[in-house]
Amino acid sequence: MFNWQGRTDTEDGNKGLRWHQVVNQQGHSDLPAINLVGLASDLGVRANKGRPGANEGPVSIREALANLPWHWGARLIDSGDTLADSDLSDAQSHYANAVSQALLQSQFVLGLGGGHEIAWGSYQGLYNALQTSSHQTKKIGIVNFDAHFDLRRPAPYTSSGTPFRQIHAHCEQHGDDFQYACIGISRAANTKALFDFADTTGTRYLLDTQCTLDAAKALLTPMLQNVDQLYVTICLDAFPASAAPGVSAPSALGIDVLFVIQVLHFLAQQQAACNYRWALCDIAEMNPAFDIDKRTAKLAARLGFEVADALLPTR
């Protein structure tokens, strides 16, 4: 288990608390909770011919989160990491079980990666929790901030580039709608075959050259009105290499951080209007082996902070 530590401002009492001081505190079980669940894996990145090192990602994100201020009347839980040593599918299943357990306790899950193979585990965790908690079919919508579709064929093996194709196959197998939107797609980083498959499957997407808040709202609102549960995943290679050098495939252009933060808050605000529940978010492709001045880890932590700020009640 990660050793949470950081600055303490005792002179400010409860108003000076930081993430490392509130994590895994006992009591106040009636408060809403965020549960940190990690998948320490770069097996999918290696299989996708990317730069290894993402298995250390969850720890680096926690280190960056530790000193951030805690503004909310809520609990913070750290469920630790699933370690992917040799069998990716097995590790994804163990991670999915941890996600399901947290969701079934009405805790919001913030997944920490690791390569973007975390997405297949996150989806399975949400799907299984919904199957356990209700006999009624629940439509899942996915919003992915990413330079890549990650819709590659999973044959002969799965990777960090295949999770949403795996999800599509799962939807087809179970008769579910494939509700997938990808924001930040680079035409220079996806083949014609991937664009064709995206079009064939009804994937919604915005190119990195099209990313304005109005464009994102127009793209996402029809999907949000047609889903019951929302899963958001943030691939750090969606951002410029200057802001996120610590990834497998740094972006030459990337999308604006403030734009993504605005969309995250929009997704939280639209829950009541569109009648869906945002249950799960993960942050993927954190690779500290290539990080500079911990820029990528700090960005990942800020994004986690913004998700919490969008969803939790202020103290």
Edge-to-edge strands, sheet with 75-83: 75-83, 33-40, 108-113, 277-284, 229-235, 140-145, 179-185, 204-207
Instruction: Give 137's pLDDT tier (boundaries 50, 70, 90).
Output: low
**Per-residue model confidence as pLDDT tens digits over 7-21:** 999 999 989 999 999
Average pLDDT over residues 222-235: 98
Q: Mean pLDDT over residues 51-56, rounded?
A: 96
How far apart (Å, rounded) are the C-alpha atoms in residues 296 and 242? 9
Instruction: Please determine, for residue 191, whether its predicted confidence score (pLDDT) is greater than 90.
Output: yes
Confidence of residue 29 (pLDDT cuts 50, 70, 90): confident
Q: Tell me, what's the pLDDT at 31?
A: 94
Cα atoms in the Cβ-side hemisphere of radius 13 Å centred on 102: 30
Higher-confidence residue of 80 and 26: namely: 80
- For the chain, the average pLDDT equals 96
Tens-digit pLDDT profile for residues 154-176: 988 999 999 999 999 999 999 99
116 known ligand binder:
yes
Question: CB–CB of 261/299 below 8 Å?
Answer: no
274 is in an annotated binding site: no
277 closest CA partner among 314, 231, 213: 231
d(Cα 225, Cα 113) in Å, to the nearest integer? 29
Other Cβ atoms closer than 10 A to 151: 26
User: Is domain 10-311 classified as CATH 3.40.800.10?
Assistant: yes
* Whole-number pLDDT of residue 183: 98
Structure tokens belonging to residue 71: 């503004």
pLDDT at position 26: 79
Q: Hey, what are 17's tokens?
A: 């608390």
Buried residues in 127-143 as b, exposed as e (16+ CB within 10 A): bbbbeeeeeeebebbbb
Helix (H, G, I), strand (E, B) or coil at 235: strand
CA dihedral 138, 139, 142, 143 (to 10 degrees): -110
**Phi-psi map region of 284: left, alpha, beta (phi>0 left; psi -120 to 50 alpha):** beta
pLDDT tens per residue, range 231-248: 999 999 999 999 999 999
Domain boundaries, the chain: 10-311
pLDDT for 84 equals 96
CA distance 198 to 185: 11
146 is in an annotated binding site: yes
Distance (Å) of CA 52 to CA 27, 38, 75, 80, 244 = 40, 17, 33, 21, 16
pLDDT at 45 (0 to 100): 96
> Is pLDDT at 135 greater than 60 in this prediction?
no
Quote the pLDDT of residue 136. Answer: 64
With a cut of 90, say whether residue 315 has pLDDT above it: no
* Strand-pair category, 108-113 with 33-40: parallel
Whether the pLDDT of residue 30 is over 80: the answer is yes
What's the whole-number mean pLDDT along residues 238-260? 97
- Annotated binding residue at 30? no
